Amino acid sequence: MKPALLSLNGVAKRFTLHHQHGTELPVLEGVDLQARAGECLVLEGPSGMGKSTLLKLVYANYRASAGRIEVRTGSDSTLDVTQASARELLQLRRDTVSYVSQFLRLIPRVPAIDVVAEALRQDHATDPDVAAAARAEAARWLQRLRIPERLWALPPATFSGGEQQRINIARNLIKPRPLLLLDEPTASLDPANTRTVVELIQEAVARGAAVLGIFHDPEVRAAVATHRIDMTRFRSTA
């Protein structure tokens, strides 16, 4: 059996409502799961079951209230996200974990092609050959995701919602990281681009990535899922 690229053990999340006299809002409790190379785990359950919260815990946008979240960073090394330093998390996001959220965090005045190419240039930002190769690869992704060439030199803030989401997908998947976190990546896409994103996910799984995702479309879930996780069993009732 392949080693787990992601392991969650006893993970819990409670939010403290400071404007409500410190009231605690329990969201998740006792989350145990593993994602291995070549698997796509689809998180299922009604709204409010903590699906997006779980992705944010793995990416460390939220800190877990309890438990361990271990990500494999090498053949014999792992990082517990719940205890990681800011520098360790930055390195983890550069090399190991991609996170496609529901919203593109816009970068003012940066052309779309450079937004997408950024991940390929991070380690060699001043090398002109690397920059040229990164832009060429970004152009290939923009073409595949049907972003018109006339938009490539414009900042994504000027784009439609669906175009922004395709930029979001391209910039996070262009660098083949081992672990992909996907939060409704096809929610604002038309059928043709939805099919393309399904293909991209399937290709990532085929190359050995582990995927943890949320998908509103049952046809997309059926196309990409290798395992389904019922989030209702982790819903805290405390």
In a domain, 138, yes or no: yes
Q: What is the pLDDT of residue 143?
A: 98
Residue 216 lies inside a defined structural domain of this protein:
no
What lies within 8 Å, CB to CB, of 45 at 6+ separation is 51, 230, 231, 232, 235
pLDDT of residue 102: 80
Q: So what's the pLDDT on residue 13?
A: 94
- As given in the structure block, the two tokens for residue 79 are 């990082």
Q: Is 36 within the bounds of a domain?
A: no
pLDDT at position 116 is: 95
Given a contact cutoff of 8 angstroms between Cβ atoms, the answer to whether 12 and 69 are in contact is no
The distance of Cα 232 from the centroid of its chain, to the nearest Å, equals 21
Residue-wise burial string across 55-82, b where 16 or more C-beta atoms lie within 10 A, e elsewhere: bbbbbbebebbebebbbbbeeeebbebb
**Structural domain contains residue 116:** yes
b/e for 14-30, b at 16 or more Cβ within 10 A? eeeeeeeeeeeeebbbe
Q: What is the pLDDT of residue 75?
A: 77
Question: Could you read off the pLDDT of 116-139 as tens digits, one per residue?
Answer: 999 998 867 678 888 899 999 999
pLDDT at 73: 92
Total number of domains constituting the chain: 1
67-98 pLDDT tens trace:
999 999 987 899 999 999 999 999 999 999 99
| Residue 9 placed within a domain | no
- pLDDT over 80 (residue 167): yes
Predicted confidence band of residue 107 (pLDDT cuts 50, 70, 90):
confident
Phi-psi region of 156 (alpha: psi -120 to 50; beta: other; left: phi over 0): alpha
Q: Are 5 and 191 in contact (CB under 8 A)?
A: no
34, part of any domain:
no
Q: Which amino acid is at 141?
A: W
| 14, amino acid identity | R
Check residue 21 and give its pLDDT: 62
Using 50, 70 and 90 to split pLDDT, how confident is the model at 20? Answer: low
CB neighbour list of residue 133: distance below 8 Å, 6 or more residues apart: 120
CA distance 75 to 19: 45
Domain contains 126: yes
| Residue 191 scores a pLDDT above 70 | yes
Does a structural domain hold residue 164? Answer: yes
pLDDT above 80: residue 23? no
- Average pLDDT in the 193-215 region? 97
Beta sheet of 97-100, edge-to-edge order: 97-100, 179-183, 210-214, 40-44, 227-230
To the nearest whole percent, how much of the chain has pLDDT over 90? 77
Range of the domain at 115: 106-176
